[in-house]
Amino acid sequence: MMNVKEQTIDWAILKYDKWQLYVAKSEKGICYVGSPGQSYEELKSWIQKRFPMASLVENEEALNPYLKELLEYFEGTRQTFSLPADVKGTPFQQEIWAALNQIPYGKTCSYSGIAKIIQRPSAVRAVGTAIGANPVLITVPCHRVIGKNGAITGYRGGTEMKQYLLELEAQKSGNE
């Protein structure tokens, strides 16, 4: 019988302005950035699905480097993230999330634009589903994907947060 090592997922709460976001990391890197208003039970459920052998441990000290980068982003002093990520998903989701990371700070792309980037122009709906499954809001910039007509469309963090992030990036990059 194989001895399966139990993994620890550290978590903490990031507080910025009116938002509180659960942030979690594995031993490999950030694995989750939650939505405003989310409960601990939702965090726990999400982690159990992706890390079934893991135990959740509140550990702000372990998360401090990640929280610092996220706060710097919210304050407009950081445009890219340097710390490692542990983002679990299907190969298709991984491909979509890699495409999201190609959208420059302060710029946007449509869902059909992402489908074209991955050379699957008819997969717009599947692209939207994969974007919606992004486990690390902000660090994998799914907020930069908007409707073809420029509309602010669905976002796991809520459209208010999406609008805020897009305006922040536009202002700090000079793309207003």
- Which residues are known to be catalytic? 142
Joined tokens for residue 129: 């589903």
Q: List Cα–Cα distances, 174 to 59, 105, 106, 170, in angstroms.
A: 37, 11, 8, 6
Answer for the pair 82, 29: CB distance below 8 angstroms, yes or no.
Answer: no
Cα separation, 86 vs 120, in Å, equals 25
Joined tokens for residue 69: 């980068």
Query: Quick one: which of 84, 89, 47, 39 has its CA closest to 66?
Result: 84
Query: Quick one: which of 147, 65, 75 has its CA closest to 109?
Result: 147
Q: Which amino acid, residue 143?
A: H
Cross-strand bridge partners of residue 98: none
Q: List Cα–Cα distances, 154 to 29, 62, 67, 95, 164, in angstroms.
A: 26, 31, 25, 20, 14
